[in-house]
Every structure is written in structure tokens, then in C-alpha cells.
């Protein structure tokens, strides 16, 4: 009997079918892959440079803001709310009064802002008498109603500084009520934070803004020194780390902010940093350090000079150009002499010490009987 013959290829087909069935069964029994874990948003960076501060400009309306770690959304939940900060603006009545005074006092779009309280009344009057000898574009910020009343009697207008003698900043009323209930009698905000808010308001109105302390006395017109840079400042040696790292620091006892989008961004960030550090000079030096400012060296070791500097030093970040004025013309350490100085700002602590230092430097020009004189123009010594 002949052997049974099978069709060629039948066994191979059966094996293929069997493997296909086994593969399908394995695929059906394989557990689904675990879900991808949801990434939580990264914590915010501990320090921000002023590059990260969004400008209040028209461009923001048309361009969506870039995503930052503070804004990174997740797939499982809504973005966490941001930390609440005091807005960098001013109460409306303060803004109106400030811009009205700037409009009436400005010279070629430039104003010089000086802020004082009752304790510094004589220093302020000496400052005004000296400044009036060559310029009249000053704007005064009053820290309390007492000095405002004295100035009013002398025909000197001033703007009540918010958070000090004037109205509270927007959003601070509840916090201030809680502060009073808790017995905390510290100032509601630093004077320097309030001054930076005034600067920001004036910058947004396109003014060139010079700021000066009441003991930074102008012996001649400083305006030729204050252009050509986004930010210009006199030299100091505070905070302490600046002397070791740079050789000198920016001193905001005398500084000029020239208008521009990047300067407004810088100043807006300075308001925030001054709010946390409670000192504008600490803030400006920290902010520029964070922005990796590069200084043109003045010494063989690559650092800046302080008391022996004779020319303006230049520093640059990615966005702004900074000028550091020569100490020989804008004197901070009066022990090195004040001959030929444009501005004298002697290092001293108390009001009496400031008076004595300015008198010794030849920068005290206020008459002893100034309170009996009605007109500011006649209060100076002859």
C-alpha cells in the first residue's frame, strides 16, 4: 500500500498559524505600561535678574508671556498661584501730584528727586539752597506731614511719599491693620522702596531722573556727567562684598536713571529687591551682580578704583550700560579732599555729623536764620 502523501508546505503553514495565535495571546495578556508620572513644576529660582521682569509695555498685549518655572502648568492640576507682591506702582493721588510737580519743574525732560523727613529738614534746606544756585528742576518727596507744612510755608511744593506720610500702596491696607493690631510699630515700608517707586513712575513718564540724598550737595551743575549711560551712579564701598569683588560699588546717594524700556525693567526689579532687602543700594548692586555686569578694569588686577578714580568707569550687562562716576568729582570719602568737586556727599551717620562734615567741606550754604526768611532764594550765605 502506497504511503500517504501530504501537500507540500502544509506543515509550515500550521506552524506559522500556531506562532501567530501564541503571539496574539501573549499580547493580550501583557499588562499595560505604567502611566507616566506627572512632573510637578520646578521650584522658582532663588534669584531673578531684571531680564526676568516683564515690562508693562504695549508689546505684552500682543505677545504671550514666556513660560517660566513659576508658570509651568501640569497635566493633572491647575498652575499654583504666584506669591503676592505689592504692585510696583503708586496710589493715584501720589502719581498725579508727582507728575504735576515734575511737569512744572523739569528742565529738558530731566528732574532731580530728593526725599526727606522732619529730622532732615535743615539738610534739605541746605540742599535746596545749593541746588538752586545752578538748577531749579528739583522735586521733593516729603516723608511726613510736618515737613510738608514747613515747606508749604516757605513756598516749596512737595509730594507726600506713599507708605510714609502719604497714602498706603494699593493692597497694603489690610496688612497695615494687622500690623497695628499685632503691636508692630516698624515703618510700613522702607523709605528707599518708596523712593524707587517714585523713580519708576517718573521713568514711565519718560523723564530723566536723578536721585540724591539730602547730604549729597551739588556745588555745580552735574548734568554734563549724567548722560551717555542707562544708569549713572557715584562711587561707594557698600555693600562690603563689592569692594572685594569689584573694587567699588554703585552709591545711590547720587544716581541718574535715563529713560528706556530696559531701564524701566531694571527699576521695576529694584522695587522688588528693595522691598525684600529694605535698602536700595544693596538692591542695585545685587541686581547688577546677578545680571553678570562686566566692568572695564581700572587697575592691573582688573578691579575698579574708589577714592583715587578720576574718570567714569563703564560696566555692561546684556541689556544696560552703567557709568560709575569719578570720586574726585563726586566725593564720598571727604578725607581725600573736595577741591574741584561737583557733588559732595561725605560719609557720616548722624544729622549733626552730616552738618559738620558738609561745613568742613565747604558745602554748607544755609544761613543760621533761615527760618526767618520767607524766600528760598535768600536763605543762602553770601
pTM, whole model, 2 decimals?
A: 0.76
Q: Domain for residue 98, yes or no?
A: yes
User: 250 with 236: CB under 8 angstroms?
Assistant: yes
Q: Quick check: is 281 in a domain?
A: yes
Residue 20 is assigned to a structural domain of this protein = no
Radius of gyration of the chain (CA): 32
Cβ burial of 6 (10 Å; 0-12, 13-18, 19+) is: exposed
Residues 6+ apart with CB under 8 A from 145: 160, 165
**62 CB neighbour count, 10 Å cutoff:** 6
Q: How far is Cα 114 from Cα 212, in angstroms, rounded to an integer? A: 5
Please state, in angstroms and rounded to a whole number, the distance separating the CA atoms of residues 125 and 273.
31
Predicted confidence (pLDDT) per residue in 296-306, tens digit: 999 999 999 99
Query: What is the reported pLDDT for 179?
Result: 54
Show the low-confidence residues of the chain (pLDDT under 70): 1-86, 164-189
Q: Is residue 44 part of a domain?
A: no
Is residue 357 one of the residues assigned to a domain? yes
Let me know: does 116 contact 123? Beta carbons within 8 Å.
yes
State how far the alpha carbon of 195 is from the alpha carbons of 121, 172, 262, 266, 362, in Å: 17, 17, 19, 15, 28
Q: What is the CATH number of the domain that holds 315?
A: 3.90.550
Residue 52 C-alpha cell reads as 526676568
Do the domain assignments include residue 162? yes
pLDDT digits over 193-235, tens only? 999 999 999 999 999 999 999 999 999 999 999 999 999 999 9
User: Is the four-CA dihedral 172, 177, 182, 186 of positive or negative sign?
Assistant: positive
Task: Decide: 233 and 242 in contact? Cβ < 8 Å.
Answer: no
Q: Is residue 233 part of a domain?
A: yes
The answer to whether the CB of 242 falls within 8 A of the CB of 249 is: yes
Q: What is the largest CA-CA distance in the chain?
A: 147
Q: How far is 168 from 354, CA to CA, in rounded Å? A: 30
Query: Among 82, 49, 91, which residue's Cα sits nearest to residue 283?
Result: 49
The total number of structural domains in the chain stands at: 1
Could you list the residue range(s) of the whole structural domain that residue 191 is in? Answer: 92-378
With contact defined as beta carbons under 8 Å apart, do 93 and 180 qualify?
no
Task: Pick the closest to residue 108 from 206, 195, 204 (CA basis).
Answer: 206
Write out the chain in H/E/C secondary structure: CCCCCCCCCHHHHHHHHHHHHHHHHHHHHCCCCCCCCCCCCCCCCCCCCHHHCCCCCCHHHHCCCCCCCCCCCCCCCCCCCCCCCCCCCCCHHHHHHHHHHHHHHCECCEEEEEEECHHHHHHHHHHHHHHHCCCCCEEEEECCHHHHHHHHHCCCCCEECCCCCCCCCCCCHHHHHHHHHCCCCCCCCCHHHHHHHHHHHHHHCCCEEEEECCCCEECCCCHHHCCCCCEEEEEECCCHHHHHHCCCEEEEEEEEECCCHHHHHHHHHHHHHHHHHCCHHHHHHHHHHHCCCEECCCCCCCCCCCCCCCCCEEEECCCCEEEECCCCCEECCHHHCCCCCCEECCCCCCHHHHHHHHHHCCCCCECCCHHHCCCHHHCECC
Tell whether 85 is covered by a domain.
no
**Cβ-based neighbour number of residue 169 at 10 Å:** 23
Please answer whether residues 266 and 286 qualify as being in contact, where contact means their C-beta atoms are separated by less than 8 angstroms: no
pLDDT at residue 353, as a whole number:
96
Amino acid at each position: 500500500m502506497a504511503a500517504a502523501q501530504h501537500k507540500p508546505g502544509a506543515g509550515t503553514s500550521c506552524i506559522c498559524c500556531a506562532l501567530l495565535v501564541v503571539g496574539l495571546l501573549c499580547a493580550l495578556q501583557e499588562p499595560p505600561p505604567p502611566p507616566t508620572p506627572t512632573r510637578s513644576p520646578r521650584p522658582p529660582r532663588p534669584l531673578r535678574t531684571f531680564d526676568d521682569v516683564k515690562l508693562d509695555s504695549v508689546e505684552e498685549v500682543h505677545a504671550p508671556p514666556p513660560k517660566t518655572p513659576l508658570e509651568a502648568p501640569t497635566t493633572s492640576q491647575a498652575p499654583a498661584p504666584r506669591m503676592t507682591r505689592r504692585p510696583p506702582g503708586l496710589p493715584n493721588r501720589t502719581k498725579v501730584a508727582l507728575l504735576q510737580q515734575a511737569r512744572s519743574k523739569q528742565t529738558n525732560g530731566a528732574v532731580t528727586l530728593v526725599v526727606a523727613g522732619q529730622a532732615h529738614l535743615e539738610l534739605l534746606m541746605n540742599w535746596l539752597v545749593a541746588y538752586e544756585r545752578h538748577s531749579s528742576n528739583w522735586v521733593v518727596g516729603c516723608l511726613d506731614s510736618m515737613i510738608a507744612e514747613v515747606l508749604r510755608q516757605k513756598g516749596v511744593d512737595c509730594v507726600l511719599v506713599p507708605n510714609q506720610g502719604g497714602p498706603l500702596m494699593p493692597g497694603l491696607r489690610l496688612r497695615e491693620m494687622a500690623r497695628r493690631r499685632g503691636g508692630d510699630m516698624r515703618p510700613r515700608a522702607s523709605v528707599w522702596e518708596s523712593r524707587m517707586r517714585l523713580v519708576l513712575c517718573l521713568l514711565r513718564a519718560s523723564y530723566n531722573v536723578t536721585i540724591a540724598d539730602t547730604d549729597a550737595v551739588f556745588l555745580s551743575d552735574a548734568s554734563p556727567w549724567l548722560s551717555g549711560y542707562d544708569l549713572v551712579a557715584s562711587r561707594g564701598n557698600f555693600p562690603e562684598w563689592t569692594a572685594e569683588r569689584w573694587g567699588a560699588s554703585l552709591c545711590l546717594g547720587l544716581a541718574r536713571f535715563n529713560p528706556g524700556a530696559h531701564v524701566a525693567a531694571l527699576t521695576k526689579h529694584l522695587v522688588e529687591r528693595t522691598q525684600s532687602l529694605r535698602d536700595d543700594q544693596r538692591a542695585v548692586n545685587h541686581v547688577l551682580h546677578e545680571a553678570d555686569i562686566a566692568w572695564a578694569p581700572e587697575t592691573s588686577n582688573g578691579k575698579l578704583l574708589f577714592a583715587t578714580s578720576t574718570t567714569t568707569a563703564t560696566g555692561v550687562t546684556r541689556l544696560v550700560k552703567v557709568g560709575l562716576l569719578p570720586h574726585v568729582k563726586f566725593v564720598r570719602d571727604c578725607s581725600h579732599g573736595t577741591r574741584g568737586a561737583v557733588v559732595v556727599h561725605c560719609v557720616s551717620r548722624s544729622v549733626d555729623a552730616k552738618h559738620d562734615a558738609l561745613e568742613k567741606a565747604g558745602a554748607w550754604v544755609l544761613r543760621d536764620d533761615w527760618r526767618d526768611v520767607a524766600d528760598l532764594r535768600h536763605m543762602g550765605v553770601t
